[in-house]
Amino acid sequence: MGFVPIQLNEYVRKHLKANPGEKKGEFTRQLKDALARYQAGATCDCGEPIWVIGSSVLGDTCFTCATLEAEPSGDYEIAEACHKMARILPEPCSRKCEAPLDSDTDDRDVPF
Ligand SMILES: [Zn+2]
């Protein structure tokens, strides 16, 4: 199992349905803030990438530290933040299997 990717707007809708008292604008802003922090490379105290949905409420935290569960099982994560999670929860490779699991270098050109 792993995260279930969900569009931000879709998650807001679900959340508001379950929590009718919440303000849509406020909640959306919090999620977008957390997503922006995630995209800027924010990490949990333990060094893992943050869980955007949890971090929107709790401050920057990864899934494990927020829930004390080893890994997500059917928990939501904003779709834009899911691809990086493959680093923690490797999926079967669709390309070359000799590619290193650490896909960090894919989107960042680090000169060595
Ligand atoms: Zn953590």
Cα 34 to ligand 1 centroid, rounded to whole Å: 15
Ligand 1: distance of its center to the CA of 76 in Å?
Answer: 17
Q: Where are the domains of the chain?
A: 4-102
Looking at residue 2, its pLDDT comes to 87
What's the gap in Å between 108 CA and the centre of ligand 1? 23
Gap between the Cα atoms of 11 and 5, Å rounded: 10
Ligand 1 centre distance from Cα of residue 61 (Å): 5
Contact 95, 25 (CB under 8 A): no
What are the tens digits of pLDDT across the range 53-73? 999 999 999 999 999 999 999
Q: Mind listing the pLDDT tens digit of every residue in the chain (112 residues)?
A: 789 999 999 999 999 999 999 999 999 999 999 999 999 999 999 999 999 999 999 999 999 999 999 999 999 999 999 875 555 445 555 555 554 555 555 556 656 6
Q: Please indicate, yes or no, whether the overall pTM of this predicted structure exceeds 0.85.
A: no
Cβ atoms 31, 78 nearer than 8 A: yes
